[in-house]
Amino acid sequence: MLNLLKKEINVFLNSLIGYIAMTVFLLTIGLFMWVIPTDSNILDNGFANIDALFVIAPWVFLFLIPAITMRTFAEEKKSRTIELLLTRPITDLQIVLAKYFAAVILVIISLLPTLIYYYTVTVLGNPPGNLDTGGMWGSYIGLLFLASAFVAIGIFASSVSKDQVTAFILALFLCFFCYTGFEFISTLDLFGHLNNLLLTLSINDHYVSMSRGVIDTRDLIYFLSLNAIFIISTRTSLESRKW
């Protein structure tokens, strides 16, 4: 499994996909936080926080993570190397986890440079260091869980598709629906008391909760369960080829 994990990371880092994804992410975030005159611009607002990063990042990940994960299994099927992969002396679950963790590591690598924003705002604060560090780290943890959920959804979409474009569109739809779809449906007040249940199924609801700096076990269980559901679904999709 570790060999496959290293291989997947090398594939990302030795191709333009990984670098383009990280560059687009950092460039987009940087423009909104420091250049474009919007409500998210730190210099215009004059507040010592990087909340804009945690507001914008999920929407950027909504497109970038499906772009990263679309090739994980779809490309294997297109190049007909999926059979060779499945004959390796590792289980289907280990194959899925290797690809999953490789994509998550790439996301973590793309987030590391954003710590520069934290340092910059800390220095620019009046007085210097006037920043809610606890809330910031809670937001980072929430963003990592959100990204991991998008990755799990993305590799599932790739596992049920034979074309990368189809995998991208399916992953984009599923990520968007899980992120805001349940929340939007709950606001329509169509299901009475079930509306609150629908709201708790929304990724955004739990992400916002963690962004306050409070790590609630309910939020952790939600994200771990969501990841597990799509990882197991991906393994089931692979095993279906043997039926």
Hey, what are 237's tokens? 């999709």
Determine contact, residues 100/152, Cβ cutoff 8 Å: yes
How is the chain split among helix, strand and coil, in percent rounded to 5?
Answer: 80, 0, 20
- pLDDT of amino acid 223: 93
The domain segmentation of the chain, as residue ranges, is 2-242
Name the 3-class secondary structure at 47: coil
189 token code pair: 């007040």
Closest CA to 34 of 11, 59, 52, 21: 52
Q: What pLDDT does residue 130 have?
A: 64
CA dihedral 198, 204, 209, 212 (to 10 degrees): -160
Convert the pLDDT of each residue in 191-211 to its tens digit. 667 777 777 888 988 888 887
Peptide bond into 127 cis (omega under 30): yes
98-117 tens-digit pLDDT: 999 999 998 898 888 888 88
Provide the residue-wise pLDDT of the chain in tens; the chain has 243 residues: 777 788 777 877 777 777 777 888 888 888 887 777 777 677 666 666 777 888 888 999 999 899 888 888 888 777 777 777 777 778 888 889 999 999 999 889 888 888 888 888 777 766 666 666 777 788 889 899 999 999 999 999 999 988 889 999 999 999 999 998 887 887 777 766 777 777 788 898 888 888 777 778 888 999 999 999 999 999 998 887 655
* pLDDT value of residue 232: 95
Quick one: pLDDT at residue 13?
Answer: 75
Hey, what amino acid is at 82?
I
- Looking from the CA of 158 toward its CB, the CA atoms found within 13 Å total 27
Give the pLDDT of residue 126. Answer: 66
pLDDT of residue 34: 75
Reported pTM: 0.89
Tell me how far apart the alpha carbons of residues 156 and 127 are, in angstroms, rounded to a whole number: 47
